[in-house]
Amino acid sequence: MSADANAAESAQGQNYTMLQAFEWYSEGNGVHWNKLAKKTDELASFGITAMWLPPPTKAAGQESVGYDIYDLYDLGEFDQKGGQRTKYGTKEELLQLVKKAKERGMVTYIDAVLNHRFGADRTEKFGVVEVDNNDREKEISGLYDIKGWTGLTFPGRKDKYSKFKWNFNHFTGVDYNDKNGKTAIYRIQGDGKNWAQGVDDENNNYDYLMGADIDYNHPEAREDVLNWGKWVIKETGASGFRFDAVKHIDSAFIGDFVKSVRAETDKPKMFAVGEFWKDSLEDLEKYLDSLGTQFSVFDAPLHYNFKEAGDRGNDFDMRAIWDGTVVQRRPIDAVTLVDNHDTQVGQALESWVSSSFKPLAYSLILLRPDGYPCVFYGDLYGTAGENPQEPVSQLGDIIRARKLYAYGEVRDYWDHMNCVGWVRMGEGDKDGCAVVLCNGSDEGSKRMEVGQHRANEKWTDVLGWSQGEVVIGEDGWADFRCSAGSVSIWVKQDAKGRNEFSKA
């Protein structure tokens, strides 16, 4: 589906690669959209074909990363919550970025934060019952009134794009009583009102996550957000969505949202990926099956396999790297990744993949045919914050190898727990490649077949991490090597595009 979605609007005739175009500590002060626009030439040269942008919508604070969503219809256009711009810039700068990316053959995806709202403009009085944090279906109080932040009137927008105003009837729960300052999980009471049912079953019902939790059983709330989906695609020229926190949102609504936008924006194959962050293939498959339309998820189990492999070193059997993953079971629905803004150092779901293993992990998702790989901005350019992390060495070159050489039939050589390899045979005018990676403490070597038609060719490692050359034998076989705990990507010495690499 990712190929179908990209082919309509993106660069033709090359592999598709997504960039998560931010990290948690990306620079604020409204510079990010312009910074990304300046990087579009470089990103296109690497082989990036899509950018998942951070939430472009107005948050409760001007320097917020964007997940404490306030107004969906304010893309940095109105003087609200501290000013006109968002952390990333103004609406005009966002539209210029989308336009420039498209000119460079890159599509853009909007990060849609649809689970909750923050930054209400006024408090309201309403009835609630408290529920147990570990069992959201268990009431631990009687009905009583609280004062909660649920009135959103968007005075700075003055009804432009949408006249809808939010009140407590449009939410299922909150976690703060302004009357006494108490924090708890409060389920809002009303006729037929309850937690959504199409959500993850952790805590017996994981509808409530944070803020004022939206009730998509309410027709007014439902209609306004469905309208926003169509509006934001048409308004920005974006090509799809990344949905935040979908395991806390009724899956029926997400399915309806995707189908509605696809039908009414003339994008029947519009790309949609959800963050259902759980290390459970069974739960991810159950979610995908519930939507009634094609949808992708980030392959959280694969991330945790990479994390384990990096932590265990040569005790990890590389032949098990795909076990229990979405990309192994449902490759068409898998967005593969190594790390993201939540797993990075210092964040809520911190599970940072070892820096020494990252070149191997990226080679695994970028140089094989299955899944839609997503490169993390923090791995490509480094992260900031109190504990900054360095970029992954030559990640741009690994992405470029995908663009130029990761084509054709795959021939696997997965016969050793610490050293695996594969060959991409190439197709048409695309040269193939031979990849060897090793998580052991000794140099790795793999005898692999690239085809008799390549006899006597000289191949070199585009990364420059393995020196010298490999000469293909008369039978089409050769011994390809890599350093201990490393990867090498071998291609014909005069392969098309060979001069694009930093160590050509």
Catalytic positions, please?
A: 244, 275
CB contact set of 425 (below 8 Å; sequence gap of 6+): 408, 409, 410, 411, 432, 450, 451
CB contact set of 219 (below 8 Å; sequence gap of 6+): none
Angular region, 489: left φ>0, alpha ψ -120 to 50, beta rest? beta
Considering only CA atoms, which of 191, 270, 258 is closest in space to residue 226?
A: 258
What's CA 97's distance to the chain center, in Å? 19
Query: Is there a contact between 117 and 188 (Cβ–Cβ < 8 Å)?
Result: no
Q: How many CA atoms are closer than 13 Å to the CA of 104, on its beta-carbon side?
A: 24
Identity at 173, one-letter amino acid code: G
CB atoms within 10 A of CB 360: 25
Pairwise CA distance, residues 2 & 334, whole Å: 9
Which burial class, exposed, middle or buried, applies to 143 when counting CB atoms under 10 A from its CB (0-12, 13-18, 19+)?
Answer: exposed
Which burial class, exposed, middle or buried, applies to 103 when counting CB atoms under 10 A from its CB (0-12, 13-18, 19+)?
Answer: exposed
Task: Look at strands 419-424 and 410-413 and give their pairing.
Answer: antiparallel
Considering only CA atoms, which of 292, 199, 282 is closest in space to residue 247?
A: 199
Give 157-193 as a DSSP string: TTTSS----B-GGGEEEEEEETTTTEEEEEEEP-TT-
Which burial class, exposed, middle or buried, applies to 390 when counting CB atoms under 10 A from its CB (0-12, 13-18, 19+)?
Answer: exposed
Pairwise CA distance, residues 126 & 147, whole Å: 7
Task: Look at strands 240-243 and 296-298 and give their pairing.
Answer: unpaired
Count the residues in the chain: 504
> Which tokens is 373 given?
């790989």
Q: What does residue 136 show for φ and ψ, rounded to 5 degrees?
A: -70, -10
Query: Is there a contact between 15 and 2 (Cβ–Cβ < 8 Å)?
Result: no
DSSP-based helix, strand, coil % in the chain, nearest 5: 30, 25, 45
| Nearest-5° Cα angle at 150, 145 to 155 | 140
Pairwise CA distance, residues 490 & 44, whole Å: 22
